[in-house]
Structure 1
Amino acid sequence: MKSILIIGLGRFGHHLCLNMARLGNDVMIVDQKEECLEDLLPYVTSAKIGDCTNEAVLKSLGIANFDLCFVCIGTNFQSSLEITSLVKELGGRRVISKANRDIHAKFLLRNGADEVIYPDRDIAEKLSVRYSTDHVFDYIELTPEYSIYEIPPLPEWVHKSIREVDIRNRYHISVLGIKREGRAQLMPPADYVIQAQEHLMVISKREHIEHILKELK
């Protein structure tokens, strides 16, 4: 469990708050508009109405007491930049700021952000990979080279064990888990026998997974 501060309760901040709270974290939320806070009050430890470009408001929050500080201002970059800088100056341990453009990210990183996230861009990339083929059921990018894909097995893999198929050496992918009817078995043993109705969660370079996807067409 961590102590989380979320500044800015737009759509992204709202969903971030709900998910952080559901995972058992202590969450404090801050926004200038009272109506942005109201439906989240049952889920958070505390809430405050205030303009966080005002240093006095930030000082009253006890910034240094939070494990993570999220700056989720999406519509006013100047405010996002000022708040990010102030949060870091006031002792923010790890400051994570939302950006919409690369140029914004550069300024945020130079002015106190430890990490910058692009929720709109990341979702768009994930959806484009998932829906551009019929055989990718989920996708998580780890690095520019490696990603995790949820795919069906090739027909020649069915009723064979992972060892028999020799997936890692022949196809250059590693099986992280098996998913069936919404349930996942992580790190299956080498003697696990693959079934037709299952999905495989694999880690791979894009070039290697694309070869497998061509065979699935």
Structure 2
Amino acid sequence: MGRMKKQFAVIGLGRFGGAICRTLSEQGAEVLAIDSDEDRVNEFSTIATHAVIADSTDENVLKSLGLRNFDHVIVAIGDDIQASILTTLILKEMGVPRVTAKAQNDYHEKVLRKIGADHVIHPERDMGARLAHNITSTNVLDYLELSDEHSILEVVSGQKMHGKSLVDLDVRAKFGVNIVAIKKGSSINVSPRADQIVEEGDILIVIGADVDIDRFKNQLLEE
């Protein structure tokens, strides 16, 4: 008998939480949408599997909703930092296996991590970083922060890399980064071989520490 669908709960149905709820639902996941605002809950009643009006800072309420049995709970509460912290603390004390929480600032993040949040995200900061990477280099198509010091970059190869194999470029030894995939037109080569030739216009998926990625960009991508 196959495992049941993963169960997610999203607490806070503002722009950020609402987008998560919609996307998870579109992907066929079981989603419980929670907010203290009746209008928001009504909006998501036809989108999520279940949508309820609830005070997430009330431990008895969260227990009654059975949140300890959910695989992943996303705390997407907006401006109320106290409610975000209390909710995250209660969820971890209840034994929820994975809690992702939205942080408003660095101090908020520190507290969330101290009380056991498994993953903390800064939507505005992260989007700002992606935009900055995209607009400072015409070669950068996309940027995803993995941690405070590591990222994945989607870049377009230029003339400096044209006609050279991955062995010739030797980016791991020279820069400490790894090219984990190469897209040529509609085809993608994951974990490309060392003799793979890079051509101008190829899209490279590069992973590494931010300082190493910057050196790689400056020396091989900037014309």
Match of 2:50 in 1: 46
Q: Which runs of 5+ in 1 are unaligned?
A: none
Counterpart code for 1:148: I
CA offset digits 1:156-213 (Å, max 9, x no partner): 4323332344343345432111124465332122232222221111123434433443
1:100 corresponds to which of 100, 104, 126: 104
User: Among residues 163, 188, 203, which one is paired with 1:184 in the alignment?
Assistant: 188
Q: How do 1:113-152 residues align onto structure 2 when only pairs under 5 Å count?
A: 113-152=117-156
1:64 aligns with 2:68: yes
Match of 2:217 in 1: 213
Q: Aligned partners of 1:64 and 1:114: how far apart in 2?
A: 15
Does residue 168 of the first structure (1) align with residue 178 of the second (2)? no
TM-score for the superposition, normalised by structure 2: 0.84
Structure 1 stretches of 4+ with a deviation exceeding 6 A read: none
Instruction: Tell whether the 8 Å contact from 1:63 to 1:91 is kept in structure 2 after alignment.
Output: no
1:145 and 1:47, CA in 2 relative to 1: closer, same or farther beyond 3 A? closer
Give distance in 1, aligned partners of 2:174 and 2:94: 53
- Name the counterpart of 1:73: 77
Counterpart-to-counterpart distance in 2, 1:28 and 1:92: 14
Q: 1:93 to 1:209 in 2, by over 3 A?
A: closer
Residue of structure 2 in register with 1:37 after alignment: 41
Please give the per-residue CA displacement for 1:20-74, whole angstroms capped at 9, x wherever unaligned.
2233321111112232133433432211112222333212201211011111112
Task: Name the CA distance, whole Å, in 1 between partners of 2:85 and 2:66.
Answer: 19
| 1:74-109 Cα shifts (integer Å, max 9, x gaps) | 211122222222223333222222111122223333
Root-mean-square deviation (CA, aligned residues, Å) is: 2.4
- Taking structure 1 as the reference length, the TM-score comes to 0.86
CA apart distance, 1:122: 1.4
Unmatched segments (≥5 aa) in structure 2 = none
